[in-house]
């Protein structure tokens, strides 16, 4: 039976923002400053608030999620609000534009709700467990299956090195499925994504971004892929522009090009995988 993709796939900030933020949280000191009682006593500074709220807006040249374009290689705006508590809890609300070719019959938007817990472990280790819910309003396949996806993610970090695993808990992963012998869609629940990231500081306010990952889609193996990324992120402080940062990266996804081709309403199409250069500019507040 033919495989079916709802002409799209998604997951993750631009892939450089949300998942990297999740990995960073695993260190235990990502969104709130790690200040001990001894340090507070020495400096006389008041203790940090229990709950911290921050956010950012991003202009991306493409929305690449695991190396798959969500916008037909067109630029888009993204926004994010982050909540972080000293207990280790965190939450995020994320929004982005997406292509109707990738998410047919939809509103052209993605809204994500994220929550989780971070733990500091001995020997500079960090553990992060999070729940991600991705919503694509009104988007659905010709079988009436919506594109909404939920995943549980875990990440273990050591300094700037981390490994992570995501497991799809929704019945269908990103609207991708095959048919059974009776012509009914087979569920892709339990699809797995394994990745490794290394983000060392290579110069003042300059970070190297290295990534490798593999997606295993249950009951739709022809859509499996591996993706890789190498890039740099420059903090605006380097140029006396606090709050700003910019990144430039090369991304490659080895997925089946004929399957990962999304068709526009005018009949034109674009391959969503392969090699791509991604540039982003972000302002954080």
Whole-angstrom distance, CA of residue 260 vs CA of residue 282: 28
pLDDT at residue 48, as a whole number: 79
pLDDT at residue 7, as a whole number: 34
> Which residues pair with residue 216 across a beta bridge?
192
Among left, alpha and beta (phi > 0; psi -120 to 50; other), residue 79 is beta
Among left, alpha and beta (phi > 0; psi -120 to 50; other), residue 184 is beta
Angle at CA of residue 167, ends 163 and 169, nearest 5°: 155
Q: How far is CA 231 from the centre of its chain?
A: 16
Residuewise pLDDT in 10s, the chain (285 residues) = 333 333 333 333 334 344 444 444 444 444 333 444 444 445 566 777 999 999 999 999 999 999 999 999 999 999 999 999 999 999 999 999 999 999 999 999 999 999 999 999 999 999 999 999 999 999 999 899 999 999 999 999 999 999 999 999 999 999 999 999 999 999 999 999 999 999 999 999 999 999 999 999 999 999 999 999 999 999 999 999 999 999 999 999 999 999 999 999 888 999 999 999 999 999 999
pLDDT at residue 11, as a whole number: 32
Quick one: which of 72, 118, 70, 74 has its CA closest to 94? 70
Quick one: which of 233, 66, 64, 280 has its CA closest to 164? 66
pLDDT at residue 12, as a whole number: 33
pLDDT at residue 197, as a whole number: 98
pLDDT at residue 5, as a whole number: 38
Domains and CATH numbers, the chain: 4-284 (2.40.160.40)
Quick one: which of 164, 225, 196 has its CA closest to 26? 164
The answer to whether 87 and 115 are in contact (CB under 8 A) is no
pTM: 0.84
The answer to whether 118 and 138 are in contact (CB under 8 A) is no
Q: Which helix (H) or strand (E) holds 19?
A: helix 18-25
DSSP for 59-101, written as a single string: EESS-EETTEESSTT--EEEEEEEEEETTSEEEEEEEEE--TT
215-271, pLDDT tens digit by residue?
A: 999 999 999 999 999 999 999 999 999 999 999 999 999 999 999 999 998 889 999
Three-class SS state of 221: helix
């Amino acid at each position: 039976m033919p495989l079916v993709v709802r002409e799209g796939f998604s997951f993750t900030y631009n892939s450089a923002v949300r998942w990297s933020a999740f990995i960073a949280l695993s260190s235990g000191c990502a969104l709130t400053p790690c200040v001990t009682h001894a340090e507070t006593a020495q400096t006389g500074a008041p203790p940090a608030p229990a709950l911290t709220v921050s956010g950012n807006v991003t202009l991306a040249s493409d929305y690449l999620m695991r190396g798959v374009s969500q916008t037909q290689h067109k630029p888009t705006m993204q926004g994010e609000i982050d909540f972080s508590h000293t207990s280790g809890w965190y939450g995020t609300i994320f929004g982005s534009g997406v292509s109707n070719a990738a998410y047919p019959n939809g509103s052209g938007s993605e809204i994500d709700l994220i929550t989780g817990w971070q733990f500091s472990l001995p020997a500079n280790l960090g553990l992060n467990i999070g729940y991600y819910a991705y919503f694509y309003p009104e988007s659905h396949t010709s079988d009436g299956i919506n594109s909404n996806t939920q995943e549980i993610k875990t990440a273990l970090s050591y300094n700037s090195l981390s490994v992570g695993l995501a497991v799809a808990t929704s019945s269908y992963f990103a609207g991708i499925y095959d048919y059974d012998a009776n012509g009914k869609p087979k569920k892709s629940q339990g699809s797995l994504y394994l990745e490794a990231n290394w983000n060392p500081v290579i110069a003042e306010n300059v970070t190297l971004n290295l990534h490798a990952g593999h997606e295993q889609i249950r009951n739709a193996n022809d859509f499996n892929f591996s993706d890789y990324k190498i890039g740099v992120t420059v903090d605006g402080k380097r140029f006396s522009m606090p709050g700003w940062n910019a990144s430039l990266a090369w991304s490659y996804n080895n997925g089946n090009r004929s399957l990962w081709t999304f068709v526009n309403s005018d009949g034109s199409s674009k391959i969503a995988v392969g090699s791509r250069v991604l540039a982003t500019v972000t302002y954080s507040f």
